[in-house]
Homo-oligomer: A and B are copies of this chain.
Amino acid sequence: MNGQMMQQPLLISSLITHAERHHGDQEIVSRRVEGDIHRTTYRELAAQSRRLAKALAALGVGHGDRVATLAWNGYRHMALYYAVSGSGAVLHTLNPRLHPDQVVYIADHAEDTVLCFDMTFLPLVEAVAARLKTVKHFVAMTDRAHMPAASKIPNLLCFDEIVAAQDDRYDWPSFDENTASSLCYTSGTTGNPKGVLYSHRSTVLHTFAIAMPDALNCSARDSILPVVPMFHVNAWGLPYAGCMVGAKLVFPGPGLDGKSLFELFEAEKVTVSAGVPTVWQGLLAYMEANNARFSTMRRTVIGGSACPPAMMRAFQDKYDVQVIHAWGMTEMSPVGTAAILKGKHLAMDHEAQFAVQATQGRAVYGVDMKIIDAEGKSLPWDGKTSGELLVRGPWILQDYYRSEGGQPLVDGWFPTGDVATIDADGYMHITDRSKDVIKSGGEWIGSIDLENIAMAHPAVAMAACIAAFHPKWDERPLLVVMKKPGSEVTREELLGFFEGKIAKWWTPDDVVFVDAIPLGATGKMQKNKLREAFKNHQLPTT
């Protein structure tokens, strides 16, 4: 026997419609590639999205067709989020930081039919346009005045023109909520990128989950600035959450340096932000150098890679900004956990609370986790035993798009590739990527804890800990360090810095100093490149 409630599919178009009807005058502010600040509202953006949906249909985009973007965070990109998915097509956000060959591979694999791009990426698009097998239309996301006088791209279309050519009389179509809505490729450090194909259902459910009080806690009183890019995992869902709750949205465009971000935070009275640690380093450095203070910022979500505890302390203790340490993956839409205190923690002292906040957090409702040993047996949630982390839930990947290999799930669970502990309260702590784990004499050493200690040293800008060959222990930790400009520190000082902070046998065997640590397209350290560079490194043997 079924219930007798209305059957309404969970569709992305319902988010923009809700915002238009109930939060019509709420602002969406964007720093444009053109350099100026642009202001619009949910009412105008909803109308623009409908015009855009008609413009795409006029270009021949049909149900299920892929429309690609190469774009910063901004209102035109947001209109594409709703126009493309809302009309039943699939929004494919390309990562402009990838190598042109990878962009070509991904666009071909996705069979994109239209490519919309910010003017920043005109050189990239010109470099790859002739090689793209399926793209029929190229759209420059700008107005007529900023269109290039001449371009190598034939029949280059102007975003503002094709939108202006349509009226906004358009009814969002209704269809099955499991319909594909958007597509994002993982930035795997090995092998070809793999596509994650989200559905309307998974997107709307994930939006509920991230807006909840114990996740990103989004309300109509917030001004939200997603630093995390809309070209990667849908900016962690914030362009959807904004509509769901009627928050003000502030898009930084290409201005991700500390000064540009800080000025936008202040000018637009931003209360909430979200981004990866590397971006925050730039912001904190700017604030430090300029003795700056936030006026309205209350909290920021930090994820993508583990947030160094020193960064958490800077935000919380110095700038009075709550850090919500979060964890997820492209394959998880992306949010899985958030490190928010429970009631039982409120009476604890500062350091005990900090220890909870420094974990990757507890699962939001909808996500379930387990850790397993090499034989697949579930391990205890004791905060000590570490094992491979597996997850499941309605916004977690079932299979990769057009995957050619075997299916990724293990007994219905998605293996994250992370190694983690989970404590009795459900707080998960990632100790390593399974491929980065250091196996010393049969025991595991978690590289992330070692990196966090090194990065708390005042002279260290960035640190990576990798496995180096050792004749007796098979592997031992090698610390690769990038110093802060103008700072000095010796190998011996750094190794001494670990004393008392970790089990003695976890202490790295050696330190090497480098000019730069290679970062991937989403800002993560590429440890595979470091392992390759130092594969012949001779550890001191004592």
Q: Which chain A residues have a beta carbon within 8 Å of chain B's beta carbons?
A: 1-8, 10, 14-15, 17-18, 21-26, 64, 90, 176, 178-181, 196-202, 205, 208-209, 211-214, 217-223, 244-248, 333, 340-344, 346, 362-363, 365-366, 368, 392-401, 412, 414, 424-426
Residues of B within 8 A of A396 (CB): 5-6
* CB contact between A197 and one of B4, B218, B248 (< 8 Å): that residue: B4
Q: Are B341 and A5 in contact (CB under 8 A)?
A: no
11 contacts between A and B (CB under 8 A): A1-B64, A1-B197, A4-B197, A5-B202, A8-B393, A15-B365, A18-B365, A205-B208, A213-B219, A220-B340, A221-B341
* CB contact between A221 and one of B209, B343, B366 (< 8 Å): that residue: B343
CB distance from A404 to the nearest CB of B (A): 14
Q: How far is the CA of A248 from the CA of B342 in the complex (A)?
A: 10
* CB contact between A179 and one of B1, B181, B333, B340 (< 8 Å): that residue: B1
Nearest CB in chain B to that of A219: its residue: B213
CB distance from A13 to the nearest CB of B (A): 12
Q: How far is the CA of A366 from the CA of B394 in the complex (A)?
A: 18
A contact patch SS: loop
Q: Are A245 and B365 in contact (CB under 8 A)?
A: yes
Q: Are A212 and B208 in contact (CB under 8 A)?
A: yes
Q: How far is the CA of A418 from the CA of B321 in the complex (A)?
A: 44
CB distance from A140 to the nearest CB of B (A): 27
Nearest CB in chain B to that of A213: its residue: B219
CB distance from A234 to the nearest CB of B (A): 13
Residues of B within 8 A of A426 (CB): 21-23
Nearest CB in chain B to that of A203: its residue: B3
Number of copies: 2
Given contacts A8-B392, A211-B212, A365-B245, contact A3 B220 (CB under 8 A): no
Residues of B within 8 A of A200 (CB): 3
Q: How far is the CA of A90 from the CA of B400 in the complex (A)?
A: 38
CB distance from A89 to the nearest CB of B (A): 10
Residues of B within 8 A of A244 (CB): 365
CB distance from A20 to the nearest CB of B (A): 10
Q: How far is the CA of A201 from the CA of B177 in the complex (A)?
A: 13
Given contacts A219-B340, A424-B24, contact A202 B398 (CB under 8 A): no
Residues of B within 8 A of A217 (CB): 213
Q: How far is the CA of A208 from the CA of B218 in the complex (A)?
A: 13
Q: Are B181 and A3 in contact (CB under 8 A)?
A: yes
Q: Which of A205, A221, A397 neighbours the largest number of chain B CB atoms within 10 Å of its CB?
A: A221
7 more A-B residue pairs beyond the given contacts A5-B202, A7-B398, A14-B365, with a C-beta to C-beta distance below 8 A:
A3-B199, A8-B392, A18-B363, A22-B362, A23-B342, A219-B340, A246-B342
Residues of B within 8 A of A5 (CB): 197-199, 201-202, 333, 394-398
Q: Are A220 and B342 in contact (CB under 8 A)?
A: yes
Q: Are B18 and A178 in contact (CB under 8 A)?
A: no
Q: Are A178 and B8 in contact (CB under 8 A)?
A: no
CB distance from A424 to the nearest CB of B (A): 7
Residues of B within 8 A of A6 (CB): 392-398, 412, 414
Q: Are A90 and B346 in contact (CB under 8 A)?
A: no
Q: Which of A22, A221, A363 neighbours the largest number of chain B CB atoms within 10 Å of its CB?
A: A22
Q: Are A3 and B362 in contact (CB under 8 A)?
A: no
Nearest CB in chain B to that of A65: its residue: B1
Residues of B within 8 A of A392 (CB): 6, 8
* CB contact between A222 and one of B196, B211, B219, B343 (< 8 Å): that residue: B343
CB distance from A348 to the nearest CB of B (A): 12
Residues of B within 8 A of A18 (CB): 363, 365-366, 368
Residues of B within 8 A of A220 (CB): 214, 340-343
Residues of B within 8 A of A342 (CB): 23, 26, 220-221, 246
Residues of B within 8 A of A15 (CB): 365
CB distance from A406 to the nearest CB of B (A): 14
Nearest CB in chain B to that of A370: its residue: B21
CB distance from A176 to the nearest CB of B (A): 7
Q: Are B245 and A213 in contact (CB under 8 A)?
A: yes
* CB contact between A4 and one of B208, B211, B399 (< 8 Å): that residue: B399
Q: Are A2 and B178 in contact (CB under 8 A)?
A: yes
Q: How far is the CA of A483 from the CA of B54 in the complex (A)?
A: 63
Residues of B within 8 A of A10 (CB): 205, 394
Residues of B within 8 A of A397 (CB): 4-6
CB distance from A281 to the nearest CB of B (A): 29
Q: How far is the CA of A341 from the CA of B365 in the complex (A)?
A: 26
Q: Which of A4, A23, A362 neighbours the largest number of chain B CB atoms within 10 Å of its CB?
A: A4
Residues of B within 8 A of A221 (CB): 341-343, 346
